[in-house]
Amino acid sequence: MAEEEKKVEEAAAAAAAEEEKAADEAAKAEEVSETDALKAKVKELEETVADLKDKALREAAETENYKKRLRQEKENAVKYANESLIRDLLDPLDNFSRAIEASESSKDFDTIKTGVVMVEDQLHTILKNNWGLEAYSPEGEDFDPADMEACMMKEMDGIDKETVLQVFMKGYKLHGKVIRAAKVMVGKPKSN
């Protein structure tokens, strides 16, 4: 019986070894399967990263192109901002040229003066109606340092506050904002 017990033990040991071997193989197969799954996941993530990098590069390029386009549009807007003004001034410029030509062949100074006055009126009308430019000449008005620049002061009897006596240069306002103050002589009350 000892021999039979020995055989049973050997068979049990062999069965246990077989089970252990099968378990090891199953564990190895599971490890291989996990490794394959991890490799597949890594590959998938690498593809996702590559796609995101590509999208980021494309968006950066689009943004840079957009900035360049905006910069070019701004440069053109500045470069041609005065185009309408220049176009409006071409007719009066031509009229001045005609007046100069007429002055060379004619000695009728009254007619030439009338032509020059008409061109000046044309200029003022264009600048006022199309561009909002207004000239002002404050002679006889109260002195206002916000709109006027005193070039001379003169003490006088008979006035009780500073008054514009003479305008040396007209002032100009663009849409109500002073862009050139009138240059004036101011009369001020005599101090006692």
Please tell me the pTM assigned to this model: 0.59
In this prediction, residues 95-119 reach a mean pLDDT of 85
Q: How far apart are CA 171 and CA 71, in angstroms?
A: 36
pLDDT at residue 26 greater than cutoff 80: no
Q: How confident is the prediction for the chain on average, in pLDDT?
A: 88
Residues in Cβ contact with 129 at an 8 Å cutoff, skipping those fewer than 6 apart: none
Q: What confidence tens digit (pLDDT) does each residue in 7-18 have?
A: 777 777 777 777
pLDDT value of residue 150: 94
Window from 70-74, 81-85, 90-94, 124-128 with minimum mean pLDDT: 81-85
Q: How far apart are CA 153 and CA 166, in angstroms?
A: 10
pLDDT at residue 128 greater than cutoff 90: yes
Window from 26-30, 63-67, 106-110, 127-131 with minimum mean pLDDT: 26-30
Angle at 162 between CA 150 and CA 147, to 5 degrees: 45
pLDDT value of residue 192: 61
pLDDT value of residue 141: 93
- Residue 69, H or E segment: helix 2-79
HSE toward the beta carbon, residue 110, CA cutoff 13 A: 0
- CATH number of this structure's domain 135-192: 2.30.22.10
Q: How far apart are CA 188 and CA 192, in angstroms?
A: 12
HSE toward the beta carbon, residue 159, CA cutoff 13 A: 17
Structure-token match 């990098």, residue found: 53
HSE toward the beta carbon, residue 187, CA cutoff 13 A: 17
pLDDT at residue 132 greater than cutoff 80: yes
